[in-house]
Amino acid sequence: MNAPVQHQPAVRTTCPYCGVGCGLIVQPDGRGGAAIAGDPTHPANFGRTCSKGSALGETLGLEGRLLHPMLRQLDGTLARAAWPTAIDTVAEGLSRIIDRDGPDAVAFYLSGQLLTEDYYVANKLMKGFLGGANVDTNSRLCMASSVAGHRRAFGSDTVPGSYADLDEADLIVLTGSNAAWCHPVLFQRMVRNRTERGARVVVIDPRRTVTAEEADLFLPIAPGTDTALFCGLLVHLAERGAIDTAYVEAHTTGFAEALARAREIAPDKAATARVTGLDEAAVAHFFDLFYATARVVTCFSQGVNQSAQGTDKVDAIINCHLATGRIGRPGMGPFSLTGQPNAMGGREVGGLANQLAAHMGFTSPEIDRVRRFWNAPRMATHEGRKAVEMFEAIERGEIKALWVMATNPAVSLPRAGAVRAALEQLELFIVSENVRSNDTVNAGVHVLLPAAAWGEKDGAVTNSERRISRQRAFLPLPGEAKPDWWIVSQVARRMGFAGAFGYRSAADVFREHAALSAFENDGARDFDLGLLAEMTDDAYDTLEPAQWPLPAGEPPRETRFFADGGFFTPDRKARFVAPEPPALRETTSAAFPFRLNTGRIRDQWHAMTRTGLSARLAAHLPEPFVEVHPQDAGAAGLTDGGFAQVSTRHGACVVKVVVSDSQRPGSLFVPIHWSGETASCARVGDLVAPHTDPYSGQPEAKATPAAITPVILPLRGFTRTRREVALPEGTWWARVAVAEGAEYRLATAHGPMVWHDFAYRVLAGDAKLAEQLDGNVYRAAAFIDGELDGCLCVGPADAPPQWDAAALCLDGGDHGRLTARISNDHIGATAPVICACFGVATEAVRKAVACGTARNIADIGRTLLAGTNCGSCLPELKRIIVHERIAHPS
């Protein structure tokens, strides 16, 4: 990390990635860059960061940024426009369509990356002034089932516990959560509890992810059967006399029905094992651990939420905690780990189609209350369309105008190819974005609005434990970029609502949001920021991380919920839920015999808009891949490092094959991150079925029936250029971040002549081109004034070209310079990098462990430095140690 330059004050802000919500200290360098460090005083991370957070300084450049409003012209091109023209176009277009077709013909699609203030203004405009409720968000793909599960059980979307519970628990159950990669800083906190206090960790997941490396017990559950496991647990707890009868009787209803249903689904350990595909002894071990441990936290995330039965799964988990009274007390409770940085803030605002505002729904008194608070002329009267329904309505032509803010639905939604096609039919398609080009923007946008990015915008986010932190600006707004709340307010003013959208600052918006949460809130609603409603601008600027319920009175109010009941239902009692028996919506078949699971990798975030700019982060897993069990790989004729087509009824992708016994037989795993911008054919959203949960509307992204077949591409190689290029038609490619320009990993059936032609057309230009053909290995390098401007190397797939070999063979008298550049940029590395902080290759760690130089994590740190900074790679280092010990027992 660069030494801080002291001429600008350091700024305390919050990481823009996952729901852990780490505090950061940013030291701007005055040249558009900044040094980033964890904030030791922030209660979410106490100074720690993961690989993504620590690489934020490498992602601040303006390359590819959208800096001015753009409007679609009659000839189909996009041209720069002035802000007033762009605002007029949006306002007039929305008014025209609403006047003609009603408010349900327009929709906003928001994002968990928006700040609370942005969310608040967009939600208010749609639900109070345009008269519809078609406001949904990419959080629908992330944690909507947790929201629905909380509301069914608690009467409110309340996360009962705090991160501190993970320090105090004696048993941590992680189900459907690869926390080691998706919530790394929080996971390291759990690991510390295990190491220092002896807490036990149970990991429940169809895949043996790196999270399982820290597990005392790993349960490789069959996809979609979590409900049965927790029903079996409830039955077991009842039979062992572990029910907290006093709590159940005083604070809950529906226990008998829930237990009866659990007995139908999983009457005993043997039945539980049968349904879940688990070993009965392992099931018994888990049940015994849960029974015997009072302080237990059950963490769940996308593996539970992203399911057509996600809400039932969440409630089956909550049932076990309610039944034992293990909720809201130190070290106890169900804990939803939120995926996105401000998914929780969006929930607080009510920026989901089935919420109205500030944890209020669509009952008549709630609609009336919000109408009076906003002085709203045209209130929404019913729920809007949730994400998948919203895009289906666009496909059918029922929604005619869509405004997308800070997200990329053409990549992330199920049937993403169909979504992309539907966007092209819109009468009015508005996108507020940071970047000039992405799959959504390229689907026929009419109005493109430049939004402020992380580091430029100012506002609040809320993390998984209900802690509100400030994201603060430390860079000037580039070009004509504006905060999202400002853009929406300008449109609202232009539509005639100036009195209600006269905000001058993010602080103005936040104060109103806080006031609404407290409006006529006599304790009937959990969410109440009334203490912040009168805060001054200075107080907002210096706001310390604040967890709600906000501390009021003496002694301050408890920061956990429900230890003594007090649920937010009409009778203040929690509801046990009797879940449906687990059943995946679609069965596998001879044509599609596998289950396709999708998810995140350690060093990338969503569609890589920001993380994809860091060469350091790209080095971990640079190419899109499918993970497949060795047994399945053998049967399908797949080889590790080869290519495969993965297909479903909805689409197909071609990705590299990773053969791994971490994968469950019969299942495939493909990461979500690659888009049409970063790879030729790796948009996994295209393959995902649109089945949704009946309560949450969250799509099933973990179990689409799929097929896999080998793809033979006889030549492999790479090209590196100063600018983005189009590779010859039919080439498989993946773009990889490098320090300057772009690197493309490629595989092809095209012979050397096609690449010779490409080199002349694309690489040469004003450059001097050096070429070499050696058998069917083709190499070319372009130099301008002795500087390497671009290079290309293609050779047989069974002996793919190496960068260092290319450097030695290239002509032009610049070997030394070229070799130095290659070495500096790590582009010679063909093996993935395991430690992003110090650029340590996986192979180097493997060799050190195999030859005995490093026998444990401390040795690896001492000899190679890997794992000694952010710690994100520690679980993978442990996995290598275990595997090498098995392979080479001493």
Would you tell me which residues interact with ligand SF4 (CB under 6 A)? 15, 17-18, 20-22, 45, 49-50, 52-53, 183-185
Calpha distance 433→413 (Å, rounded) = 18
Cβ at position 45, least distance to ligand SF4 in Å: 6
Question: Which helix (DSSP H) or strand (DSSP E) does residue 710 occupy?
Answer: strand 704-711
* SS3 category, 311: helix
Cβ at position 361, least distance to ligand SF4 in Å: 30
Calpha distance 805→678 (Å, rounded) = 26
Q: Which CB atom, from 454 or from 732, has the smaller least distance to ligand SF4? A: 454
Calpha distance 640→566 (Å, rounded) = 55
Q: Which CB atom, from 42 or from 879, has the smaller least distance to ligand SF4? A: 42
Q: Which CB atom, from 340 or from 517, has the smaller least distance to ligand SF4? A: 340
> Is the peptide bond preceding residue 555 cis, with omega within 30 degrees of 0?
yes
Cβ at position 302, least distance to ligand SF4 in Å: 14
Cβ at position 857, least distance to ligand SF4 in Å: 20
Calpha distance 36→46 (Å, rounded) = 14
Q: Which CB atom, from 183 or from 691, has the smaller least distance to ligand SF4? A: 183
Cβ at position 614, least distance to ligand SF4 in Å: 13
Cβ at position 260, least distance to ligand SF4 in Å: 41
Largest CA distance in the chain: 84
Q: Which CB atom, from 51 or from 227, has the smaller least distance to ligand SF4? A: 51
Q: Which CB atom, from 186 or from 516, has the smaller least distance to ligand SF4? A: 186
Calpha distance 258→553 (Å, rounded) = 38
Cβ at position 50, least distance to ligand SF4 in Å: 3
Q: Which CB atom, from 21 or from 331, has the smaller least distance to ligand SF4? A: 21
CA dist 520 → 151, 214, 637 (Å):
20, 47, 65
Cβ at position 606, least distance to ligand SF4 in Å: 11
Cβ at position 808, least distance to ligand SF4 in Å: 39
State the SS3 of 257-303. HHHHHHHHHCCCHHHHHHHHCCCHHHHHHHHHHHHHCCCEEEEECHH
Cβ at position 173, least distance to ligand SF4 in Å: 20
Q: For residue 447, give both structure tokens.
A: 């109005």
Cβ at position 21, least distance to ligand SF4 in Å: 6
Cβ-based neighbours of 650, under 8 Å, separated by 6 or more: 414, 415, 417, 418, 686, 687, 688, 689, 690, 704
Calpha distance 807→183 (Å, rounded) = 40
- Is 347 buried (19+), middle (13-18) or exposed (0-12) by CB count in 10 A? buried
Cβ at position 14, least distance to ligand SF4 in Å: 8
Q: Which CB atom, from 15 or from 703, has the smaller least distance to ligand SF4? A: 15
Q: Which CB atom, from 822 or from 834, has the smaller least distance to ligand SF4? A: 834
Cβ-based neighbours of 75, under 8 Å, separated by 6 or more: none
Cβ at position 186, least distance to ligand SF4 in Å: 7
Tally of CA atoms within 13 A in the half-sphere of 669 that contains its CB: 22
Calpha distance 594→519 (Å, rounded) = 51
Q: For residue 805, give both structure tokens.
A: 């070999």
* SS3 category, 56: helix
Q: Which CB atom, from 18 or from 70, has the smaller least distance to ligand SF4? A: 18
Q: Which CB atom, from 19 or from 149, has the smaller least distance to ligand SF4? A: 19
Q: Which CB atom, from 56 or from 655, has the smaller least distance to ligand SF4? A: 56
Helix 874-887, helix 857-864: angle, nearest 10: 110
Beta bridge mates, 627: 658, 669
Cβ at position 594, least distance to ligand SF4 in Å: 30
* Residue 781 · residue 697 · CB < 8 Å: no
Calpha distance 335→174 (Å, rounded) = 9
Q: Which CB atom, from 161 or from 184, has the smaller least distance to ligand SF4? A: 184
Q: Which CB atom, from 299 or from 654, has the smaller least distance to ligand SF4? A: 299
Cβ at position 463, least distance to ligand SF4 in Å: 8
* Residue 562 · residue 247 · CB < 8 Å: no
CA dist 834 → 612, 620, 854, 856 (Å):
17, 6, 15, 16
- Is 555 buried (19+), middle (13-18) or exposed (0-12) by CB count in 10 A? exposed
Helix 280-292, helix 269-276: angle, nearest 10: 120
Q: For residue 836, give both structure tokens.
A: 């992003």
Cβ at position 475, least distance to ligand SF4 in Å: 18
Residue nearest to ligand SF4 (CB): 53
Q: Which among 557, 503, 502 has a CA at the least distance from the CA of 529? A: 557
Q: Which CB atom, from 15 or from 737, has the smaller least distance to ligand SF4? A: 15
Chain centroid to CA 462: 15
Cβ at position 183, least distance to ligand SF4 in Å: 6
Calpha distance 442→431 (Å, rounded) = 10
Q: Which CB atom, from 342 or from 408, has the smaller least distance to ligand SF4? A: 342
Q: Which among 375, 371, 341, 345 has a CA at the least distance from the CA of 356? A: 371
Question: Which helix (DSSP H) or strand (DSSP E) does residue 154 occupy?
Answer: helix 144-154
Cβ at position 335, least distance to ligand SF4 in Å: 15
Q: Which CB atom, from 19 or from 325, has the smaller least distance to ligand SF4? A: 19
Calpha distance 670→561 (Å, rounded) = 37
Q: Which among 659, 599, 653 has a CA at the least distance from the CA of 632? A: 659
Q: Which CB atom, from 174 or from 399, has the smaller least distance to ligand SF4? A: 174
